[in-house]
Structure 1
């Protein structure tokens, strides 16, 4: 199954076999990561693959492997991490390897060689005894007209993207030239404390789905003076 098809089948997995993946598979994953498309080439980022014993988490379930992700703090750095590693998520699931983004997990006693990069988030992955695919009618997502100023089938891949607590914080507007503006919902104080920074990653994840579905035409950019939308932050613009 290719990455675009996987968008319509993937789901977050929370049950894994204890058996680690073989070295050949892990090297294939590393190779894919090194060649993934980035949202902002001016941001330095890095990752590592750690085992369960090197992860601190409150989750009751465990996975044999964890991607720990790091980045410089620059404009759209959360979105950049979401964009890059959702491509990785799709790659893994296309290979029948389960994945789950985890906000409540971090590496134990880990020092990144680049002191300017901070830890961002973790992705659990590994083989699962369960079926890791689902049917399109099993997705619990907002309708297109709830996430956009008009119902647009081109936005279905973004609609199906995973998000923190399934919050689906994105909103899209259409421009006369055929481009789109992407906004992220503003949260209240309490909710922002729990999922605010993850929602920045979420919009990057949604953009990754749009890129995978429109590889030849996708282009992301930031406007100097974007239109303000009440109740939302501007996260960028794109062409598909």
Structure 2
């Protein structure tokens, strides 16, 4: 039985994960971490990792970017594997994730869903054919009105996957309103929409001469991300130090 700590347990994703874990006989939440103490859980909740007195095999993080530095420091010190699901990390924090992975197992993914991780592979393969044939590439992402980071981590991961296939040939264009010029061939346009309760939608558009190919992924509930996070936690428990991704979990 894998024992996990839910970092950000009283947030929306923390509560979805809590419900999924209750139905999984191979993993249990030993403790939760959250400054919000207004929700009653079946496990003890502490206001910080430092205050936590419960031992665990792995930590799953769905808190906020501002709490990631302290989380990584704690995991490195205690040698506890961590699944980092929080998005909107700075370049410095991404570097800190890599440094922490030298001390303890770390799994970081911009998106925990199986479908998105398959999409990352598909658009990479498509770029190798279509970009070479002169297709323009655009990414459109849509999320609910409470999401604070834009573009989404998933949109950037999709762009990075394409760019990797093309030897980092592209630069990213986020706002064309500041320049009055035609589209450049070496750019990937990335646009963000925020509204209502949209869970998550990503379109990757390959636009060529007289034909358009679109890859689309739509998330209808947060459960797909929660299930992925739980699978990642079970995978990471007991792993040697290193930086892992959802591709390792799936593969």
Tell me which interval the TM-score lies in, with the shorter structure as reference length.
under 0.3
Bigger radius of gyration among the two: 2
- The alignment's TM-score, normalised by the length of structure 1, stands at 0.27
Question: If the length of structure 2 is used for normalisation, what is the TM-score?
Answer: 0.26
